Structure 1
Amino acid sequence: MAVDAAGTLYVVWVYGGPSDFGIYFVRSTDAGGTFTAPKNISRTAESTGAFVPELAAGAVGEVIAVWLDEYEPYPGQSEQIFFTRSTDSGDTFSAPVQVSFRWTPEWSASSGPAVSTDALAQLYAGWDQGRIGAAPDVLLVASYDGGQTFSAPVNLSEGLGASGRLRIASETPSRVYAIWQMLRPRSWETMFRRSLDGGATFSELKRLSRGGHGSSIPQGIAVGRPEQVCAVWEEVNKGFDIFMRCSFNGGENFRKEFNATGRRGHFEGDIALDAAGSAYLVFGCSLRGVNPDYWWWGVCFRRSLEPLQ
């Protein structure tokens, strides 16, 4: 789900089966009161199934989507990442384009698509991709011409440890922020890198999660007012917790992490920031109090009462 600068709401999901799954799209211009008829935006003559859609919106009418697909023109190819874009609020979409690698003796299957766009319609797509005989890496490409062409992929994890669950956010001018999960010597950690030149180069690796406190699983990253970027992750250590760290200077440094839900036992969160810098969280939570004889799970919401400082 995503919202553009005009307030138009866009939603995508997977539908079909068992061999013709596709990515379907609708939009609403009245805050969800009504929606357009669903349309398949992933269909091609060669597609054998599309899954795991991700969506981003930016300027008025600008909406982009990525997903996991299998493409028959390259026999034996594993699942790869595809991209499409609309500049007219979803009335029409560009033909799907593959942005991950074709199968080679070095690279194999792709997964975990991620996407972001900014107010100037610079586009960023990312994914994790396996290597034959080696751990997977996370990669990112950029487009400065509306998806007509893409840059060569940048390997964010640089083969330093098995990596996945990439999440990206972007803002003008040409700032890109990325978090992902990387296997370090003792546990999985949430790592961070930023680019100040539209994804051409990236900063050194920075660990956001708490070392020595169990494994962490990245959940989301978002931008708010200029140079404000916040990331959340799930920490698994004798239970579940959602932790959060924020930067107010474009990722140069981050404030100390804190438990974003205020208590333990929460999991699978995500974050959004508004233009003033206020934070909004959704996360999985226990609702055992509904009936003490059963263990209930639900989706909970929390927001900051004022912009984060």
Structure 2
Amino acid sequence: NLSNNPGTSVFPKIAADGSNVYVVWSDNSPGTFDILFARSTDGGATFGSPVNLSGGVGFSFQPKIITSGSNIFVIWGTGCSVLFVRSADNGASFSSPINLSNGVGCGTSPADIAASNGNLDVVFRSGPASDIFLVRSTDNGASFNSPVNVSNDADEEDFPQVAASGNNVFVVWRNIPHGNTDIFFTRSTDGGATFGIPVNLSNDAGLSELAQIAASGNNVFVTWRDGTTPTGYSEIFFARSTDDGSSFSTANISNTSGDSIFPDLALSGNDVFVAWEDTTGLTAGNADAYIAASTDNAASFDTPINLGSIPGESREPQVTAASNNVYVGWSESESEIYFVSGTIETTVNPISVGIDIKPGSSPNAINPEDMGVIPVAILTTGSFDASVIDPSTIKFGPNNADAVKSSLQDVDGDGDLDMVLHFKTQQTGIACGQTSATLKGQTLAGIPIEGSDSIKVIPCQH
């Protein structure tokens, strides 16, 4: 229990960087609703006392927090403004709040923020036509550019969310044309200066809302609550793009026997996590926090799990991931903020690669007492590019010897570069009686590889 006070604690948001975990929420224990911040430096095992970030600037609600190195950025709404603070020292201190929505009328929350390559992008709803605006900072939040109208149409929009990857900026929001609601998506390829024509991602007859978005490399992920299902329950839908948002595939990832709402989304390498609030098996007015995980960049998801059934309402779970840890926080019965953590455990079958021990020689004779080195080539083939290997991870032989040298060269004359590594013979552990030796390691993306080749150990006469 992070809040643990007699007031109302709602709208938790969570971020993490390594073993540092940060949580913000809206809390009225100071007398009015302010934004409180708590941090842990031991992976969530303990948290310091909450700190008031808003400091009585007015009714403050729906915060959002992200990290970038030692920098922490927090935004929230005050009814007619979107405010921003930053910390450059892992949350030990924060700047005074500044208004990001000046100049476009009444800026409203919930707003969202994303960071990429030192740039910050903030989106919010504002103006007489309820359009979606974006402001960008190119100096880690020291200053912001003028707002850009992202939606710019006659319909009403709200609940914008933003993600960034490189120079690409992706924005989703809820579009409200005539009573129906859909999830619209647009992208910028020039750092948020201009945006393409919005695309309807949900495009169905039901209510689609509460979208969340994340991006990494060429992958863009969007999740939302959708009411157009055969069961009559609302479900958590998930859309995945592998081409920078040019196209999407969509799937139902909750598929439970209750209402699934308020999704949240987090990425860590190839792992994707979606948390949400679910009423499956509960009486009216109760809900539990659920999570579903993917280890293949959202090509598939594991069966959702309940994070712990607590009597009452576990509302709006928020998820983040850092290193091998996953953190989830939620509002319990709108009175306290609860927090749980877990470890990412995945088993990935290694890619089988072709290797050539002592390239060009046969029968690969090895004398275990030799003071020299053994060259081993990892071959580039039609299905594998040896240049993606991380040489520092490669181990060879029974003793898992490290390479003392590595280079790219074409050892088999096929015109493709192979990875050649050298291992000190006496460090490999190769001994009499062995007929093969194995090499193991990882690609630069962390994918395991493994390959074997035949050897002849000499002299080994007895």
Return the TM-score normalized by structure 1.
Answer: 0.84
For 2:221, the equivalent position in structure 1 comes to 230
User: Residues 169-195 of structure 1, C-alpha deviation per residue, up to 9 Å, x if partnerless?
Assistant: 122x22221110012357211000112
Say which SS state the counterpart of residue 95 (structure 1) adopts: coil
> May I ask how many residue pairs the two structures share in their alignment?
281
Q: Counterparts of 1:21 and 1:186 in 2: how far apart (Å)?
A: 31
Deviation at 1:43, TM superposition (A): 2.0
- For the 8 Å contact 1:215–1:236, the answer to whether it is kept is yes
Change (3 A) 1:52 1:178: same
User: What SS does the aligned partner of 2:58 have?
Assistant: strand
Structure 1 residues 306 and 239: CA distance shift in structure 2, 3 A: same
Q: Deviations over 1:243-269 (max 9, x none)?
A: 1111112112212x1112134632221
For the pair 1:61 / 2:67, whether they are aligned, the reply is: no
- Counterpart of 2:298 in structure 1 is 308
Other-structure match for 2:87: 86
Partners of 1:50 and 1:32 in 2: how far apart? 25
Seen in structure 2, the aligned counterparts of structure 1 residues 3 and 227 have a Cα distance that, compared at 3 Å, is: same
Measure the CA separation in 1 of the matches of 2:118 and 2:19.
Answer: 16
The reply to whether residue 161 of structure 1 matches residue 155 of structure 2 is yes
SS at 2:193 equivalent:
coil
Are the aligned partners of 2:82 and 2:107 in contact in 1 as well (CA < 8 Å)? no
Alignment pair present for 1:140 and 2:138: no
Aligned equivalent of 1:100: 101
Query: Which residue is 1:50 aligned to?
Result: 60
**Moved runs in structure 1, 4+ residues, more than 6 A?**
none
In structure 2, list runs of 5 or more residues that go unmatched: 1-13, 300-462
Answer whether contact 2:107 2:124 (CA < 8 A) is retained. no
CA–CA distance in structure 2, aligned partners of residues 25 and 239 of structure 1: 35
Partner of residue 326, structure 2: none
Provide the C-alpha distance between the structure 1 equivalents of 2:93 and 2:71, rounded to a whole number of angstroms. Answer: 11
Deviations along 1:192-218, one digit per CA (max 9) or x if unpaired, are 01122221111221111033x312103
Q: In terms of Rg, which structure is larger?
A: 2
What is aligned with 2:198?
Answer: 205
Q: Is the 8 A contact 2:260 2:276 kept in 1?
A: yes
Asked if structure 1 preserves the Cα contact closer than 8 Å seen for 2:20 and 2:44, the reply is: no
Q: Is the 8 A contact 2:63 2:110 kept in 1?
A: no
Structure 1 counterpart of 2:273 = 280
Following the alignment from structure 2 to structure 1, what is the Cα–Cα distance between the partners of residues 289 and 24?
Answer: 20
Deviates more, 1:244-253 or 1:9-18: 9-18
Could you say which residue in structure 2 is the equivalent of 1:72? none
Name the residue aligned to 1:2: 15
1:174 correspondence with 2:188: no
Q: Percent identity?
A: 27
Residue in 2 that maps onto 1:74: none
Task: Verify the 8 A CA contact 2:21 2:41 in the aligned structure 1.
Answer: yes
Q: Retained in 2: the 8 A contact 1:64–1:83?
A: yes
- Contact 2:174 / 2:211 at 8 angstroms: preserved in 1? no
| 2:27 is aligned with 1:30 | no
In structure 1, the gaps of 5 or more residues are 70-77
Distance 2:189 2:148 in 1: 14
For 1:112, the equivalent position in structure 2 comes to 110
Partner of 2:306: none
